[in-house]
Amino acid sequence: MLKGVLEGCVLEIISHEEIYGYEITRRLKALGFSDVVEGTVYTILVRLEKNELVNIEKKPSDAGPPRKCYTLNAAGREELRRFWEKWEFVSSKMNALKEKTK
């Protein structure tokens, strides 16, 4: 379950601005997903790339190799919309269940 949620988080983060992998990981950690590592984010980014939901541009950096910068394309935005729809559904049902069993 967390895998799907993380993918939604990554899509949401990319949707705001052009961003690279390490920065995405840092944002997730700041959100409280403290055990998320860059390797995890990388596997998600590979999946997004394979499903053609993101555009990637290689940008030179001050030090070290060029970085892959990610932006969301139209298909990615559609996927993000669907994610929030599913999330709404699941969270409303979970809350309803919690209320009932109280």
Partner 1 sequence: MGVRIIKNECAEGEDKMNFWEKITGSDMRKELKTFDSRVKKLPAAYQAAWENIIANLWPHADFTGRNLIPILDGVLGLLEESASDGQRVQEVLNDDIKGFCSALAGEEGAKSFRDKWREQLNNNISKILGKAGK
Residues of the shown chain interacting with partner 1 in the complex, contacts defined by CB under 8 A: 20-22, 35, 37-40, 42-43, 46-47, 49-50, 56-58, 61, 63-65, 67-68
Of 32 and 64, nearer to partner 1 (C-beta) is 64
Least CB distance to partner 1 at residue 35 (A) = 7
Strands (E), 27-75: 54-59, 67-72
Least CB distance to partner 1 at residue 92 (A) = 30
Least CB distance to partner 1 at residue 50 (A) = 6
Q: Name residue 19's beta-bridge partners.
A: 70
Of 37 and 97, nearer to partner 1 (C-beta) is 37
Q: Give the alpha-carbon dihedral of 90, 75, 54, 46, to 10 degrees.
A: 60
Of 15 and 55, nearer to partner 1 (C-beta) is 55
What is the spatial distance between Cα 84 and Cα 76, in angstroms, rounded to a whole number?
12
Q: Could you give the 3-state DSSP secondary structure of residue 65?
A: coil
